[in-house]
Structure 1
Amino acid sequence: MSEGAPDEARFLDLVAEMQAKDSGLTSVQAALLVAAEQGIARDSKAFARIFGMAHALVLRELTTLIETRDLLHVTRRDERTMRLYYELAGGARAVIHE
């Protein structure tokens, strides 16, 4: 993670906790949820940059969380850059606060 980001160990612990609560989540999906909840990244390009991932991979994982899991909600799209801005959906709040 980049400088100024939260403690990496704590972030990884939160990702592991998220996956323990919902075993259907991939590690990237759990990281997206934790990053959204913690205010670390609220758009796909920022997440990809912070975590050194391909934007296409982030978009694929986001699409799963949005379309099939109801865990994230798109708040804005940038058609030119393919950037998706997102926030936690009701399903994610239930998983986080179990």
Structure 2
Amino acid sequence: MSDGAFMAAVEQVLQVYPDLSKLQAAVVAADEMDIAHDGRSFARIFGVAHSRVLRQVNALDEAGALLRITKREPRTRRTHYVVSL
């Protein structure tokens, strides 16, 4: 995966769902591209604070349309999710 391909995927998500933040679109794109399926992995791979990723994942889950949380690990706060486009 190249940076350009990932950024193109993020932009494509934003075109379809313009109300998402760039970070939310990146979470969706990363899941769709099999890059990261949990918040901690996404945070590590992309150098974003885990707490910021968790807030965005929770917001997407609460909205109920694009992302569903499938598992939470209390000790590590790792939050697994699946995107349904």
Same fold, TM-score > 0.5, yes or no: yes
Q: Bin the TM-score by the shorter chain.
A: over 0.9
Following TM superposition, by how much is the alpha carbon of 1:69 offset from its aligned partner in structure 2, in angstroms?
A: 4.2
- Residue 29 of structure 1 aligns with which residue? 24
Cα RMSD after superposing both structures: 0.9
Q: Give ranges in structure 2 of 5+ residues lacking alignment.
A: none
Q: Does 68-77 or 33-42 show the bigger shift?
A: 68-77
- 4+ residue runs of structure 1 moved beyond 3 angstroms? none
- Please point out which of 19, 33, 47 is paired with 2:14: 19
Following TM superposition, by how much is the alpha carbon of 1:85 offset from its aligned partner in structure 2, in angstroms?
A: 0.5
Larger radius of gyration: 1
- Please point out which of 51, 61, 67 is paired with 1:66: 61
Q: How many aligned positions are there?
A: 85
What amino acid maps onto 1:19 in structure 2?
L
- Which structure has more relative contact order (CA 8 Å, sep 6+)? It is 1
Following TM superposition, by how much is the alpha carbon of 1:74 offset from its aligned partner in structure 2, in angstroms?
A: 1.2
Cα deviation digits, residues 1-36 of structure 1 (max 9, x gap): xxxxx1100100110111011110110000000111
For normalisation by structure 1, the TM-score amounts to 0.83
Following TM superposition, by how much is the alpha carbon of 1:68 offset from its aligned partner in structure 2, in angstroms?
A: 1.6
For normalisation by structure 2, the TM-score amounts to 0.95
Aligned partner of residue 75 in structure 1, secondary structure = strand
| Residue 49 (str. 1) matches residue 5 (str. 2) | no
Identical-residue share of aligned pairs (%): 38
